[in-house]
Structure 1
Amino acid sequence: MHKPHLFILTGASRGMGLAMAQQLLRPGHALVCISRHSNAGLQDAALASGVALEQWQHDLGSANAAAAERLQAWLETHSAIALAGGAGSAAPSPLASPFASATLINNAGLIPPIAPLSASDPAALAQGLRVGLEAPMLLCAAFLAATEGWAVPRKVLNISSGLGRRAMASQAPYCAAKAGMDHFTRCLALEEALKPHGAKVCSLAPGVIDTDMQTQLRSAHPAAFPDAPQFASLKTAGMLTTPADAATRVLAWLERSDFGTHPVADVREP
């Protein structure tokens, strides 16, 4: 029996995250989704396609440590089962893996209420940084620690943003979270390159997508957000990518033979 390819995806209940989850429901895959809410349609699609799906409900703005701890325990349990399964052989491999490959996709994110930093709510700032930066770091740490002994391909795909590389007024927490994601991914790439079975990692900007975040940006009052007209014009000019098309492009990048060669990238690059 062939081992499945494991995908762990955050923010899978809507938008591009949901589109990625739907496209990952293919034979030979196993999918774990971590979101504030489960998606009944996704569960139905998994049953119809015969793909193993788990949906864990965690609010990464308040329970990101719990999500990381659950992920690490879940992976270690599966690893122990794989080792036990080889106990009858003469020399069970310490690199036994229950999956053919393992991939973590940190997609969850949010934009706090749009305002200059001086007018921002401290609780909203903290929540934005927990979801956009702290949670991906904790989940990466848990994933890499629990799978370090697996001699199978392992990947981490962090969904970044052009705003992590371009400053914008009234977007300090979101820009800071995505810039931090880019830079900690660079650090991960250096660390994993030193290991015999190191993971390939990339922080990828997915382009401009027609999601609730875009609605939030273009609907903001120009007095609070000077770039609101620019985002409105993207919608008017039809320059936004659909969540499904964006998901297709992101997952295609994940499958590239040179994935991880550049730890910070943009899906619009060749």
Structure 2
Amino acid sequence: MKYAIITGASKGLGESIAKRLLQEQIAVISVSRTENKELKSLAMDKGIEYKHISCNLSLETEIQEVFMEIAHCLFENQPTEILLFNNAGVIEPIQKVGNLDQTPIIRNIKINLIAPMLITNLFLSKAHLTNTKVTIINVTSGAAIRSIEGWSVYCSSKAGLNMFTQTTAVEQADLETKHTIIGFSPGVMDTGMQETIRSTTEDAFKELEKFKEYKEKNMLLDTDTVAHRLVDLVLTGTPESGKVYHIKELLET
């Protein structure tokens, strides 16, 4: 049996990924601060195993405790494959360097970069002792490869996540494991993160009007559409370990 772990599954892309996986009869473990009741209902209707676990991904000790427990329970069941979606992320702080506050800087790096690193490290360590394949999907951003004024922390954390993904893939290939790790850049979606971006000021974020225009002209991608393309790649494609996939490429295929 396949299991999927999704961080940030309570809303946005994470919720859409979870719904699609439940439709595919894949057991889902949702990890976020709050539970999405729709996911629970869908799982009950489909007769699929589902569990929500609350976790603050900005706290390292909580990450270790929660994911140690998840790993222990999953590997004990000897699943054929574990799909790990490191999806949770934050955009804040949106501000130019020199005007940044310390606390949101640290929180951003912890959630966007440190949490995926800790979780990935833990699962690959546990998988070493079993025959279970682990497929890791790190949700990144186009901001990882483009400097955006006001987004220095977000750009940096996502660039770090890309490099972590690529380096881990090289190491797993050298170890000759069957594990796969990829990055996925979902594009500009209609989510709460976009609402946060639009609520900032032009002094802090130079491209504010452009992002308001995305919403006004209905140019934002639907999270269900993005999730379907990603899940199709993971379940029916042959994702190349170490590669960062972009939604634009997947929509064109």
TM-score normalised by structure 2 residue count? 0.92
Q: How far 1:27 sits from its partner (Å)? A: 5.7
Flag the 1:222–1:5 CA change in 2: closer, same or farther, 3 A. Answer: same
Pairs within 5 Å for 1:128-139: 128-139=108-119
- AA in 2 matched with 1:230: K
Which residue does the alignment assign to 2:163? 183
Distance across 2 between alignment mates of 1:167 and 1:227: 12
Distance across 2 between alignment mates of 1:8 and 1:250: 15
Q: How far 1:157 sits from its partner (Å)? A: 0.3
Give the conservation status (yes or no) of the 8 Å contact 1:22–1:42. yes
Which residue does the alignment assign to 1:91? none
Q: Are 2:2 and 1:5 aligned?
A: yes
Give the conservation status (yes or no) of the 8 Å contact 1:27–1:50. no
Q: Percent identity?
A: 27
Which residue does the alignment assign to 1:49? 46
Select the residue among 74, 99, 115 that pairs with 2:70: 74
Give the conservation status (yes or no) of the 8 Å contact 2:25–2:46. no
Structure 1 runs of 4+ aligned residues shifted over 6 Å read none
Task: Give the CA RMSD over aligned residues.
Answer: 1.7
Distance across 2 between alignment mates of 1:64 and 1:26: 32
Pairs within 5 Å for 1:195-214: 195-214=175-194
Distance across 2 between alignment mates of 1:176 and 1:184: 12
Distance across 1 between alignment mates of 2:24 and 2:217: 38
- AA in 1 matched with 2:16: A
| 3-state SS, counterpart of residue 105 of structure 1 | strand
Give the conservation status (yes or no) of the 8 Å contact 2:147–2:155. yes
Give the conservation status (yes or no) of the 8 Å contact 1:7–1:105. yes
Unmatched segments (≥5 aa) in structure 2: none
Q: How far 1:72 sits from its partner (Å)? A: 2.8
- AA in 2 matched with 1:32: I
Distance across 2 between alignment mates of 1:78 and 1:42: 20
Give the conservation status (yes or no) of the 8 Å contact 1:151–1:197. no
Distance across 1 between alignment mates of 2:12 and 2:74: 30
TM-score normalised by structure 1 residue count? 0.87
Q: Are 2:100 and 1:104 aligned?
A: no
Which residue does the alignment assign to 1:220? 200
Give the conservation status (yes or no) of the 8 Å contact 2:93–2:151. no
**Aligned residues between the structures:** 250
Unmatched segments (≥5 aa) in structure 1: 83-97
Give the conservation status (yes or no) of the 8 Å contact 1:160–1:203. yes
Q: How far 1:152 sits from its partner (Å)? A: 3.9
Distance across 2 between alignment mates of 1:261 and 1:146: 19
Compare the two structures and name the one with the higher helix fraction.
2
Q: Report which stretch shifted further, 210-219 or 127-136.
A: 210-219
Select the residue among 130, 146, 163 that pairs with 2:143: 163
Give the conservation status (yes or no) of the 8 Å contact 1:112–1:174. yes
Q: How far 1:204 sits from its partner (Å)? A: 1.0
